[in-house]
Amino acid sequence: MLTNQTRATLVQLLRAISPEAVRLLFIKHFDYDLPSVTTDTLLDAVTRARPDNMAGLLVELLTGATAVRADAPTKYVFDGRLADLRGRLRADGFEVIEDALARLVPAAEPAAQISDHLELTLAGSNVDNDGAIRRLLRESYLSCSSTPPDFNDGTTKARIALETVARRSACRVATDRGKAAPADTLGAALAFLRAETVITQAEEEALAKVYTLVSPGAHVPKGLTDEQWALLARTFAVSGAYFLTRQHLAA
């Protein structure tokens, strides 16, 4: 239900409190006694945890911070990591409200999984040999999770990542098939990929609409806060980039 970055931040927070307190938290929320309190055992445990158990742990950490903080040897380290976890949870689309883990946007869990899958897919794709797209996506995530968050930057970098996937995919396909590369724009890239049957016409139109939807000056839909819209817009762009990368690999 959480991205890899957020799980890692949770582990950092747990490492900031005493091992005895961590073991008790895991027994309480997971009915599981850790064999040892190390980074590896914690990462493994939170990765395998059921969503409802994870939600209980997160609620206690974020609503009972004062009590948990008493078990932290170094208070300022705990405070910094707690603030980091709050921000990253919000970037994943979650917030603790009235002693419950609430979604800030619909389908927050699938969106977090798509981000992780895209990271892995790009690592195995020739459209991101230099890691520039993955860097944009990480910066987008950090902008949304920072204090204060910069939702405009988070959305912008996700949009640029989508555009970069399209342009690079078109150039790679052109090179591999001995064709002239299209103009270095999103529209030309998508049209070329459609002509080369990497994507269909309907998919071309959908990707173009996603790009337009998350572009600067796009209207924030009525009933959504700036934060909710930014998280949704980022999810649209990341999902489009993931879809296009998968189609590129399958071509």
How many Cβ atoms are within 10 Å of 32's Cβ, its own excluded? Answer: 14
Task: Mark which of 103, 137, 157 sits at the end of a domain.
Answer: 103
Residue 2 is given by DSSP the state -
Specify whether 129 is located in the same domain as 167.
yes
Computed from CA positions of residues 181, 182, 183, 184, in that sequence, does the dihedral angle turn out positive or negative? negative
Task: Mark which of 72, 103, 134 sits at the end of a domain.
Answer: 103
Specify whether 127 is located in the same domain as 217.
yes
pLDDT at 57: 94
Specify whether 162 is located in the same domain as 180.
yes
C-alpha to C-alpha distance for 17 and 21, rounded to whole angstroms? 7
**pLDDT tens digits, 98-148:** 788 888 776 666 677 888 899 999 998 999 999 999 999 999 988 988 888
Q: Which domain holds residue 38?
A: 4-103
pLDDT at 218: 55
Stretches in the chain below the pLDDT threshold 50: none
pLDDT at 96: 86
The domain that holds 208 is classified in CATH as 1.20.120
Specify whether 130 is located in the same domain as 219.
yes
Specify whether 147 is located in the same domain as 127.
yes
pLDDT at 108: 63
- Domain count of the fold of the chain: 2
pLDDT at 39: 95
pLDDT at 107: 62
Extract the tokens encoding 34.
């850790």
Specify whether 15 is located in the same domain as 72.
yes
Which residues, in sequence order, are CB contacts of 165 under 8 Å at separation 6+? Answer: 127, 128, 133, 241, 244, 245, 248
pTM for this model (two decimals): 0.74
